[in-house]
Amino acid sequence: MPHAFRPPANAVVLAGFMGTGKSTVAQLLAERWELANVDTDTLIAERVGTSIAELFATQGEEHFRNLETEILAELSNQEGLVISTGGGILLRSQNVEMLQAMGPIICLHASPQVILARTADSDERPLLNKPDPQGEIRRLLAEREQAYGRADYHIITDELSSEQVAERVQELVAADPRAVFVTQLPVQLPVALEEDSYTIHIGEGLLEATGTILPPDESGQQAAVITDAKVTELYAPAVTASLSRAGWDVRLLTVPAGEASKTLATAGQLCEQLAEAGLDRGSVIFALGGGMIGDIAGFVAAVYMRGIEFVQVPTSLLAQVDASVGGKVAVDLPRAKNLVGAFHQPRAVVVDSRTLDTLPDDELQSGLAEVIKHAAIADAEMFAYLESNLERIMNRDRTALKYLLARNCQIKAEVASADPHEQGWRVVLNFGHTVGHGLERAASQWQLSHGDAVAAGMIAESQIAVEKGLAEPAVVERLSRLVEQAGLQPDLSEVDFDGAWAALSSDKKIRQGQVTLPVVPQIGRVEVTDQVKLSDLRGALVRLLV
């Protein structure tokens, strides 16, 4: 399992035994990505003014290893690198720790026979100056097996050209949220399910490439882009034009913006429009917009003709990091949110990070609540990253946002893949939502944002957990400080207590009066408990609203 939980990287690292192709592949990737290419052996030779073979002969291997460590410490302060390393660099734990902090480590492998053939004509392999070089290769490979095992990814290069190895490295890097500094490379995260697996595509400018990413099965295949009045003006032209260029026959359907549109009545109207336009079971819906659009368009896709395919094209941070992934689609009833819905997995998710440039500050803040939730339940290092980098994030730093998009989608996908129909572990994604949904539904005319409601819910539910001895007090302290820094300080004065209690007690997670509640004992860990009672949740609402 790759160490995908680490914060954004500044390098892609190629490691492995001599003769596996590290230097050549690194050069290809650096040119392809327009990044700096550095080779640790070359840097050492330039520093000492002699060849590696001469350095080994005169100063010994230990001195060489010390220079490697020194060079790595210097590279750790640079950005945008493709690094090829010496064959023994992973032997030192100190080196491994520095490299892991710098970026994903891809270890290249080859058989002893192939390594010998590739290195036979080189005079710069001091470790192979032995009577039986192939035997020495076998001995060194066995000696380094555990060290090489500490890499994040592994590629056997025996039968691959350098170009093929570079392609494979690019595929691996595209699925690693740490490597978002490779800005021109879209991140591609697989959502692995027994059925209906799909890919999340994350990058800049993807709206204009929607048709290229998802071409029709045949020219003239029908598609409906469902969006809201606000998003139509901003992004619908780019998406519909891209789909049309690719050969889709496109209709644009628009609903009023806002949660008030997420109703059975609106869903029925959309189904009528699809039928009038002649869309059939081979047609595809593209849900272009925030979480409300993803929910209602996905719900329509789930019920129209007993289910047709749909694609999530989220344009808000909240939808991009949470609502678009996992296949939960629904509409609201007057009594509570999302009471009528289905599990209907998308065909794909296309996330264009540039849509965040036009996102109002309050909507960016609302999305950050779900980011904070994911960090609290699954990633202590991302939580610390948020604490240290919130100003960069609020200023819409591209690398920071791309990392958050990728890492949060990865967390959501991992949980949803393990429990696609929310029969068990997926309940952990509802941290803060039991209280939060009650507050949100009871606010006058949906005036309380989802993010503000979830932020208040996370703190309230964590306070209950602390009182019951299920969580450390530091959880409430750090959550409270972070949501305040993110501007998530809801005004609850207009939230009706009776309405909030009615919505909370109708929550889907409450069965026969029994509450199944996720709690965070420590930042980065989550557990599910049945020790919290409805009376505890009512008490939390009293503290918040009375």
pLDDT for 520-541, tens place per residue? Answer: 999 999 999 999 999 999 999 9
pLDDT tens profile 53-103: 888 889 988 999 999 999 999 999 898 999 999 999 999 999 999 999 999
What pLDDT sits at residue 521?
A: 98
Q: Answer whether residue 25 shows pLDDT above 70.
A: yes
- List residues with catalytic annotation: 306, 328, 370, 412, 422, 426, 430, 433, 437, 450
pLDDT tens profile 100-114: 999 999 999 999 999
Mean pLDDT score of the chain:
92
Q: CA-to-CA distance for 444 and 465, rounded, in angstroms? A: 29
What pLDDT sits at residue 5?
A: 52
Q: Classify domain 404-545 by CATH number.
A: 1.20.1090.10
Domain residue ranges of the chain, discontinuous segments joined by +: 11-179, 187-359, 404-545
Q: Classify domain 11-179 by CATH number.
A: 3.40.50.300
Residue, of 57 and 166, whose pLDDT is higher: 166
Q: Answer whether residue 1 shows pLDDT above 50.
A: no
- The mean pLDDT of 491-517, rounded to a whole number, is 85
Band (pLDDT 50/70/90 cuts) for residue 213 is very high
Band (pLDDT 50/70/90 cuts) for residue 3 is very low
- Listing DSSP states for 270-296 in one string gives HHHHHHHTT--TT-EEEEEESHHHHHH
CA distances for 181 relative to 126, 163, 381, 401, angstroms: 36, 22, 18, 11
SS (H, E, C) 421-485: CCCCHHHHHHCCHHHHHHHHHHEHHHCCCHHHHHHHHHHHHHHHHHHCCCCCHHHHHHHHHHHHH
Residue, of 200 and 509, whose pLDDT is higher: 200
Q: Answer whether residue 124 shows pLDDT above 70.
A: no
SS (H, E, C) 27-95: HHHHHHHCCEEEEHHHHHHHHHCCCHHHHHHHHCHHHHHHHHHHHHHHHCCCCCEEEECCCCHHHCHHH
What pLDDT sits at residue 4?
A: 47
Band (pLDDT 50/70/90 cuts) for residue 336 is confident
Q: Answer whether residue 180 shows pLDDT above 80.
A: yes
Beta-bridge mates of residue 14: 84, 106
Burial class (CB in 10 A: 0-12, 13-18, 19+), 511: exposed
Residue 131 structure tokens: 């009577």
Helix (H, G, I), strand (E, B) or coil at 490: coil
**Topology match between the domains 11-179 and 187-359:** yes
**At residue 464, what are phi and psi to the nearest 5 degrees?**
-60, -45
What pLDDT sits at residue 83?
A: 97
Q: Answer whether residue 131 shows pLDDT above 80.
A: no
Beta-bridge mates of residue 251: 224
What pLDDT sits at residue 247?
A: 98
For 187-359, CATH number out of 3.40.50.300, 1.10.357.10, 3.40.50.1970, 3.40.50.80 equals 3.40.50.1970
What pLDDT sits at residue 383?
A: 96
Residues 6+ apart with CB under 8 A from 232: 252, 254
